[in-house]
């Protein structure tokens, strides 16, 4: 796989993003058909029940798809679902080679490489740590976890001080206005948002997405035994965490934004149910108050730590379970 292959994969990953928000509960997928180094067709999956990225890109390429390479952000499907298998579409179009940025995590749908080989089509997948591969897996991180583990992808989000505390005495907020606005963007992009009953008793949060464009409000949950404060619109989830997550997954909740506090965060971490951590680190020393997570039984290593500035804060992102 050369630099040109990786560049075409990057384009497929970029095209996939056009299905963001509408393809759900399907993954976002993009495809690029290339013949003699020239792009002859592009496509992306926009909605469940509508064609997948590959047939759209192949239709755009027409006869030029014959002998071409198709670059896809996700391995082509082999199954007869609401639409015909994409492997068949590649074969019928006379594609010579398929290059994928990521493999399908669904054991029932996978098998694309073997099926392509049976059709005499060469298949390659991007190196695991290449930029295109990492971006392709990340862009469907919620869907991949939902498919593979039958639970939502859980992002633990917290605002934290420089001394690791989640509340500042006498102040309503830990982080700045830019961070708080970004949290509303994260809520709008999540299928569900949750807090622990400890936080609900103290703050009675709404957990809805406000002051940002919202296509669909997330489901808003409180984990614990309750009771909820009068007038709260949160859904109380009182069962064991894993069972509650499985039940939510069965209702197409692929992503859960967990907004703390420390007792619930520790319970999720100890149960292995946190996939990503997002910490808004604010330039303040609280001096006292609750720490980010309650005690953990053992240290936990995270991967792919990234930092970016948000107003006066730094947003740290890292994975507990990479997609
Ligand atoms: N900076 C931030 O981003 C942020 C975010 C949220 C909260 N906070 C702060 O965090 C503090 C509150 O945190 P907290 O630790 O007291 O409360 P919490 O973590 O919000 O909630 C704890 C409650 O979660 C429920 N729960 C459900 N399943 C559980 C399980 N498996 N294990 C343990 N608990 C479970 C229990 O409710 P029941 O008692 O009903 O069973 C428990 O009392 C406040 O100071 C708040 O300001 C900060």
Find, among 143, 119, 155, the residue nearest to 29 by Cα. 143
**pLDDT tens column, 112-162:** 788 888 888 899 999 999 999 999 999 999 999 999 999 999 999 999 999
CATH number belonging to domain 3-139 = 3.40.140.10
Place of tokens 């290339």: 34
Q: Where are the alpha helices (DSSP H) in 33-99?
A: 53-61, 86-92
Task: Map out the domains of the chain as residue ranges.
Answer: 3-139, 148-319
Task: Say if CB 270 and CB 320 are below 8 A apart.
Answer: no
pLDDT > 70? residue 200: yes
Distances (CA, A) of 81 to 50, 51, 75, 77, 127: 11, 11, 15, 9, 29
Task: Please tell me if the CB atom of residue 313 comes closer than 6 angstroms to any atom of ligand 1.
Answer: no
Task: Please tell me if the CB atom of residue 241 comes closer than 6 angstroms to any atom of ligand 1.
Answer: yes
Tokens of 173: 């907020």
Q: How far apart are CA 268 and CA 258, in angstroms?
A: 9
- Determine the atom of ligand 1 nearest the C-alpha atom of 158: 3
What is the DSSP annotation of 292-307? SS---SS----EEEEE
pLDDT > 90? residue 3: yes
**What is the pLDDT of the chain when averaged over all its residues?**
94
Q: How far apart are CA 131 and CA 123, in angstroms?
A: 19
Task: Please tell me if the CB atom of residue 290 comes closer than 6 angstroms to any atom of ligand 1.
Answer: yes
Task: Please tell me if the CB atom of residue 262 comes closer than 6 angstroms to any atom of ligand 1.
Answer: yes
Distances (CA, A) of 204 to 177, 197, 226, 241, 294: 20, 9, 12, 21, 21
pLDDT > 90? residue 108: no
How many percent of the chain have pLDDT more than 90? 83
Architecture of the domain defined by 148-319: 3-Layer(aba) Sandwich (3.40)
pTM of the model: 0.94
Choosing from 169, 197, 259, 284 the residue with most ligand 1 atoms within 8 A of its CB, the one to mutate for a pocket test is 197
3-139 and 148-319 have identical folds:
no
**Closest residue CA from atom 43 of ligand 1:** 198
């Amino acid at each position: 796989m050369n630099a040109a292959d990786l560049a075409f994969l990057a384009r497929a990953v970029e095209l996939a993003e056009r299905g963001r928000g509408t393809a759900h509960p399907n993954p976002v997928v993009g495809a690029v058909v290339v013949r003699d180094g020239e792009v002859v067709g592009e496509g992306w999956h926009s909605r469940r029940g509508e064609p997948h990225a590959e047939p759209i890109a192949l239709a755009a390429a027409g006869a030029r798809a014959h002998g071409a390479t198709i670059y896809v952000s996700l391995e082509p499907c082999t199954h007869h679902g609401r639409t015909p298998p994409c492997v068949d579409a590649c074969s019928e179009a006379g594609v010579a080679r398929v290059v994928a940025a990521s493999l399908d995590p669904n054991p029932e749908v996978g098998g694309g490489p073997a099926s392509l080989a049976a059709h005499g089509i060469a298949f390659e997948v991007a190196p695991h740590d290449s930029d295109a591969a990492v971006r392709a897996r990340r862009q469907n991180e919620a869907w991949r976890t939902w498919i593979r583990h039958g639970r939502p992808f859980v992002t633990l989000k917290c605002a934290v001080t420089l001394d690791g505390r989640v509340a500042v005495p006498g102040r309503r907020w830990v982080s700045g206005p830019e961070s708080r606005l970004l949290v509303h963007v994260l809520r709008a992009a999540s299928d569900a948002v949750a807090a622990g009953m400890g936080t609900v008793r103290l703050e009675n949060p709404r957990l809805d997405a406000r002051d940002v464009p919202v296509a669909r409000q997330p489901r808003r949950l409180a984990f614990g035994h309750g009771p909820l404060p009068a007038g709260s619109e949160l859904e109380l989830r009182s069962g064991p965490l894993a069972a509650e997550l499985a039940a939510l997954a069965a209702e197409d909740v692929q992503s859960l934004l967990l907004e703390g506090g420390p007792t619930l965060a520790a319970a999720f971490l100890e149960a292995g149910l946190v996939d990503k951590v997002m910490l808004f680190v604010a330039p303040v020393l609280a001096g006292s108050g609750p720490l980010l997570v309650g005690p953990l039984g053992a240290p936990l290593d995270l991967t792919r730590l990234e930092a970016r500035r948000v107003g006066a804060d730094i947003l740290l992102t890292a994975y507990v379970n990479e997609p």
